[in-house]
Amino acid sequence: MAIKRCKSPFSVWKNGVPRVITGGQLIEDTDPVYKGHEHLFEDVETFMSEKAERSAPVEQATAAPGEKRAVASRTSRAASKSPAKKADDDKG
């Protein structure tokens, strides 16, 4: 008994009742809808492994030992603020 994932939505009549299978829906391979529509399903393991390959890499927030991070310097912002602060100090 394997779990299958629907790749594309479709509807089918089973036992006189319409049944809609949505994209991404999971069913067991013993489900009557699966028989005859195998081409519309894939293994969950296959989908998850492909999804892991497609996902974007996550950037580390901290540098590894000995590694330098590329960050903007704060000295330029501090230098632009210091003359205004100095002018306020001269008034008092």
Domain ranges for the chain? 3-54
- CB atoms < 10 A from the CB of 21, how many? 20
Of 53, 49, 9, give the one whose Cα is nearest residue 33: 9
| Whether residue 6 has pLDDT greater than 90 | yes
pLDDT in tens, 23-58: 999 999 999 999 999 999 999 888 887 777 777 677
Looking at residue 85, its pLDDT comes to 55
| Whether residue 76 has pLDDT greater than 70 | no
Are the C-beta atoms of residues 21 and 12 closer than 8 Å to each other?
Answer: yes
- CB atoms < 10 A from the CB of 34, how many? 17
Structure tokens at 59: 């950037």
Average pLDDT over residues 58-86: 68
Residues 35, 38, 43, 48: is their CA dihedral positive or negative? negative
Q: Can you tell me the distance from the alpha carbon of 84 to that of 67, in angstroms, rounded to the nearest whole number?
A: 36
